[in-house]
Amino acid sequence: MKHLIAPSILSANFANLEEDILMLNKSEADLIHVDIMDGVFVPNISFGFPVVAAVKNFAKKPLDVHLMIVDPDRYLKQFKEVGANIITVHYEACTHLHRTIQAIKELGCKAGVALNPHTPVSFLQDIIQDLDLVLIMSVNPGFGGQKFIEHTYHKIHQLKKMADEVNPKLMIEIDGGVSIHNSLALLKAGANVLVAGNAVFNSTDQAHSIAELKNISPDFLNA
């Protein structure tokens, strides 16, 4: 499968989101990554339902909603109602993760689990078969524009090995500090979805930056 690009609108221009969404529609982006932060699970607050609904109103690409919030079960239905296509919850925020994943699927969304940098991928051993997506945080969640954590490669290798055994269609998404400089290595390690905030929205030609990320091809994918 060719890898997917998911620009994160956390770094978009909130005073003119419409313009940025229209740019994404015309670009080679595959998904629109939507970061929800509650000021409790992470030390930052982003935006809530009205903003997601407004984005959905213009978006022609699926919304990939990353919930950095405590007790996400309380809000799954509302995120579905405002337009989420993929809902990803944090492993560290879910006591009954299996139940949460089933609830996301029952809403008709694809279900993902995100791992903080310190959370081992082996913790997913007994749930990986039920997941559509695993998001590996390659920075500590809460802010855009942070430095990529190099240990992430090790986690991607491990996750890819686990996925090949029981869930070969798993989406392996990398979030934080992704750029044109590390994306080829990330794909080679086994990632197939790249989130990019700063690398897209703080570039001079955003659609071109998306195209560059999309058109990176590891040799083995061309074979």
> Which of 126, 194, 187, 205 is CA-nearest to residue 162?
126
87 binds, among Zn ion, ligand DX5, none (CB under 5 to 8 A by kind): none
Q: Is 35 in the site for Zn ion (CB under 5 A)?
A: yes
**Among 83, 112, 141, 190, which residue sits at the site for ligand DX5 (rule: CB under 6 A)?**
141
Residues 6+ apart with CB under 8 A from 108: 80
Does residue number 176 form part of the binding site for ligand DX5 (CB under 6 A)? yes
Beta-strand relationship, 133-137 and 171-175: parallel
AA identity, residue 77: K
Q: With respect to ligand DX5, which residue has the nearer C-beta, 96 or 144?
A: 144
| Residue 35 bears catalytic tag | yes
- Spatial CB neighbours of 82, under 8 Å, sequence gap ≥ 6: 49, 52, 53, 56
Selected from 41, 175, 182, 194, the binder of Zn ion by CB under 5 A is 175
Distances (CA, A) of 105 to 19, 32, 95, 112: 32, 19, 18, 10
As measured in angstroms, the least distance from the Cβ of 165 to Zn ion is 27
Active site residue 219: no
Q: Which of residues 128 and 136 has its CB atom nearest to ligand DX5 in the complex? A: 136
Task: Name beta bridge partners: 84.
Answer: 63
Piece of 54-62, 98-106, 171-179, 181-189 that binds ligand DX5 (CB under 6 A): 171-179
Query: Please, are residues 194 and 5 in contact by the beta-carbon 8 Å criterion?
Result: yes
Are 194 and 160 spatial neighbours (Cβ–Cβ below 8 Å)?
Answer: no
Please choose, out of 3-11, 15-23, 100-108, 122-130, the segment that lies near ligand DX5 by the rule CB under 6 A. Answer: 3-11
Q: 20 or 35, CB closer to Zn ion? A: 35
Q: Does 11 bind ligand DX5 (CB under 6 A)?
A: yes
Which residue ranges make up the site for ligand DX5 (CB under 6 A)? 8, 10-11, 33, 35, 66, 139, 141-146, 175-178, 195-199
Positions marked active-site: 35, 175
